[in-house]
Amino acid sequence: MIPVQGFEGQRVAVLGLGRSGLATARALRAGGAVALCWDDGAAARAAAEVEGFEIRDPMAAGAFADVACLVTSPGIAHLYPAPHRAIAAAMALGVPVDNDIGLFFRSLGLGEWDGMEEPPKVVAVTGSNGKSTTSALIAHILTVAGRSVQLAGNIGRGVLDIEPPENGGVVVLELSSYQTDLARALTPDIAVFTNLSPDHLDRHGGMGGYFAAKRRLFAEGGPDRAIVGVDEPEGRYLANQLAEGPGDLRLIRVSAGKLEGIGWDLVARKGWLSEMRKGRQVASIDLRGVAGLPGAHNHQNAACAYGVARALGLSPKEIEAGFHSFEGLPHRSQRVADIGGVSFVNDSKATNVDAAVKALAAFRRIRWICGGLEKEGGMAALAPAAGEVVKAYVIGREAAAFALHLGAVRHEICGDMATAVARAAAEAEPGDTVLLAPAAASFDQYDSFEHRGRDFMEQVAKLT
């Protein structure tokens, strides 16, 4: 646990008592603060009360009179589409609002690292797609190389629930826009921006607000080294803002295309990862045989992870060894079965159009299971990306409406996962890939993308 510093003897309100909320309350108590807990759900309040925390309704009269700070969970809106009423009340009274990420950076290493030969490092990864794979891959590479590493944030454990890092240790954080948007402290040693595509637009008031939330990771803390995907305009803008000139080696640019520059560049193209410094290639890795990282989108994730590992002093050979032993993450281009020459791949995490487009580019002769709760940002890119799709099998409560976005792609309205898997399997031929890449959120039929992915795997298991 990372005890929260700076609130000893003070009262701190905690709003939202899920995984990160309860961890925050415990860390506040460990640091000498009094946590005043609240959740709109009675069951969550009861669980906190069992642990001895004081329950206080933030909307009760005078609830913020003695409160030094309000700490809110990332899933609770603080600005758009409308702030939670407790957050609005705190802001109206001038009570600072923060989240567990801000408390983590505020509290980490205060006076404890002075005696260490090699102070720990914090790596923070953000972007629209590939954050989880990139973060897990970084942690895996470092582990294989013998480094002490902890993975936390939007993946793994809550940031305040990890152990204080030891001498030479590394903390790898996956950070969503919900987390970076509100944190009052953001000071990673290395920061990664994978890419940007429309997502969570209602939460951020549009694309500009969404990018601004991601950009805070770089603008607020000024990392010593930044790894930035530059294939979108926002990434190029961010890279330009960070670099003092074209040869600034504090910036590592990542691309799936050719880069003309004299700095530090990583290009993942046609299955190869090339490291370029000052216009010269200094290393290359063949990614085509790396089973845990299929497709061009995963090769870009690999490039981002490679950049972090190189910035931390690892050699290309050490990194390559980590690539080959990485098994991938569940629900992300996860090969779950091969039945009669037909591959079944679970990419339930492809919850937006851009992620689905990248998944479609990774396979050939695709039987595509798609559909769900449409997100803002447009669906126009789906049909042009479906060149390898033999047929689409559409699920979701609004399957017929979703199918309209597929254009001339041959499709069948299935409605539910069981029907889609059964129909795709019945029609598939040896060499085909049955791919779940929904291009939509799961909440019309499932609790989460993980729930949806597990249903896909269960239906595939029934085929055997």
266 C-beta neighbours (distance < 10 Å), count = 24
Q: How confident is the model at residue 444 (pLDDT cuts 50, 70, 90)?
A: very high
Are the C-beta atoms of 227 and 307 separated by less than 8 Å? yes
Residue 219 CB partners (closer than 8 Å, separation 6+): 241
Q: Are residues 320 and 338 in the same domain?
A: no
Which residues are registered as beta bridge partners of 394? 370, 413
Pair (342, 450) in one structural domain:
yes
Residue 398 lies in a domain: yes
Contact 260, 244 (CB under 8 A): no
Do 126 and 266 have their domain in common?
yes
- Say if residue 295 carries a ligand binding annotation: no
CB 162 within 8 A of CB 139: no
Pick from 263, 292, 325: which residue ends a domain? 325
Does 130 belong to an annotated binding site? yes
* Domain closes at, from 59, 79, 98: 98
Same domain, 399 and 271: no
Query: Same structural domain for residues 108 and 76?
Result: no
Same domain, residue pair 90 and 110: no
Tokens of 79: 């600005």
In sequence order, what DSSP letters do the residues of 261-326 get, joined into one string? Answer: -SSEEEEEETTEEEEEETTEEEEEEE-TT-TTS-SHHHHHHHHHHHHHHHHTT--HHHHHHHHHH-
* CA–CA dist 303, 320 (Å, integer): 11
pLDDT at 381 over 90: no
Q: Are 146 and 181 members of one domain?
A: yes
225 belongs to a structural domain? yes
| Residue 5 in domain | no
pLDDT at 378 over 80: no
Residue 89 located in a structural domain:
yes
pLDDT digits (tens, 9 = 90+) for 184-225: 999 999 999 999 998 888 999 999 999 999 999 999 878 999
The pLDDT of residue 199 is 85
DSSP string, 116-133: -SS--EEEEEESSSSHHH
237 and 382 assigned to the same domain: no
Is the Cα dihedral 212, 217, 223, 228 positive or negative? negative
CATH for 221: 3.40.1190.10
Spatial separation of the C-alpha atoms in residues 314 and 309, rounded to whole Å:
5
CA-to-CA distance for 141 and 365, rounded, in angstroms? Answer: 32
> What pLDDT, on the 0 to 100 scale, is given for residue 121?
96
Q: Is residue 2 included in any domain, yes or no? A: no
What span, in angstroms and rounded, lies between the C-alpha atoms of 338 and 178?
Answer: 37
Per-residue confidence band for 177, with pLDDT thresholds at 50, 70 and 90: very high
Question: What pLDDT does residue 207 have?
Answer: 94
- Is the domain of 196 the same as that of 340? no
Distances (CA, A) of 313 to 10, 140, 142, 309, 395: 41, 15, 10, 6, 46
- 39 class by beta-carbon count within 10 Å (0-12 exposed, 13-18 middle, 19+ buried): buried
Query: At which residue do the structure tokens 């939670």 appear?
Result: 84
Cβ(393)–Cβ(426) under 8 Å? no
3-state secondary structure (DSSP) of residue 200: coil
- The answer to whether residue 1 sits within a structural domain is no
Which CATH number belongs to the domain containing residue 357 in this structure?
A: 3.90.190.20
Identify the band that residue 110 occupies on the pLDDT scale cut at 50, 70 and 90.
low
Find residue 123's DSSP bridge partners: 172, 190
Of the chain, the percentage scoring pLDDT greater than 90 comes to 86
- Distance, in Å, from the CA atom of 7 to the CA atom of 249, rounded to the nearest integer, reads 38
Per-residue model confidence (pLDDT) at position 379 = 80
Q: Provide the domain limits for residue 32.
A: 11-98
Last residue of a domain, one of 51, 78, 98: 98
Residue 445 backbone phi and psi in degrees, to 5: -130, -15
Please give the pLDDT value at position 149: 97
Q: Tell me the CA distances in angstroms from 298 to 249, 283, 310, 442, one per residue in order.
A: 24, 19, 18, 22
Structure tokens at 331: 């629900």
Same domain for 108 and 84, yes or no, is no
Q: Give the separation between CA 118 and CA 121, rounded to whole angstroms.
A: 9
Q: Judge if 121 and 71 occupy the same domain.
A: no
Residue 16 in marked binding region: no
Residue 6 lies in a domain: no
| Residue 131 marked ligand-binding | yes
Residue holding tokens 């798609």?
A: 370
What pairing do the DSSP bridges indicate for beta strands 342-346 and 433-436? parallel
* Tokens matching residue 421: 């898997």
Is the domain of 348 the same as that of 201?
A: no
Q: Tokens at residue 50, please?
A: 């069992």
Q: At 111, is the pLDDT very low, low, confident or very high (cuts 50, 70, 90)? A: low
The answer to whether 132 is a known ligand-binding residue is: yes
Per the domain annotation, does 241 fall within a domain? yes
How many structural domains compose the chain? 3
CATH code, 46: 3.40.50.720
